[in-house]
Amino acid sequence: MPKSIISDRDPIFISKFWQEFFNLSGTKLKMSSVYHPQTDGQTEVINQCLEQYLRCFVHQWPRKWHSYLLWAEFWYNTTFHISTGMSPFQALYGRPPPTVPMYELGASPVHEVDQTLISRDELLLQLKKNLTTAANRMKQIADTGRRGIEFKQGDMVFLKLQPYR
């Protein structure tokens, strides 16, 4: 059993049965909500990453966001995580995750399959372009506050120290 489970405030999970069940199994039930998260920092960072990913996906088609949740799940489960040193897929199955091969036009005799896989490849290319654009924009914003100053050993510098809370 896990040490803790993070859940939204669904009526199922706030019922007396589940609270007692998790309590007796030694699992701490952490409730979360949109505006008052009661969770760990890692979950908040993952939520921000998924939100950014979905924004890049649905940039052109905002009303179809729900149809891209499967791709967001695939992305998360196949992405390398620094904390574990592997992807969640590899942690669960013990092998690297599968890759999505590019589809060759006309490889399937079924027209619907052909069109679906072509649209999938177009979507993935658009997503890569959107993610690259977002990364470049973030880099430009970060670079505006940077200066290219080099120091030599023995140079005198001022340090601005701020005490941590």
Cβ atoms of residues 52 and 134 within 8 Å:
yes
pLDDT bracket for residue 8 (50, 70, 90): low
CA atoms within 13 A on the CB side of 67: 7
User: pLDDT averaged over the chain?
Assistant: 80
Per-residue pLDDT at 5 exceeds 60: yes
| Residue 11 pLDDT > 80 | no
Mean pLDDT of 6-22: 74
Per domain, the residue ranges of the chain are 1-39, 40-143
| DSSP H stretches of helix in 25-149 | 41-57, 69-78, 88-93, 111-144
79 vs 35, residue with greater confidence? 79
26-74 per-position pLDDT tens digit:
888 777 766 555 566 666 777 777 788 778 777 777 788 788 788 888 8
Average pLDDT score over residue span 68-85: 82
Kind plus residue range of the DSSP H or E element containing 5: strand 4-8
If you average pLDDT over residues 105-134, what whole number do you get? 83
Average pLDDT over residues 14-21: 80
Tell me if the pTM is above 0.85: no
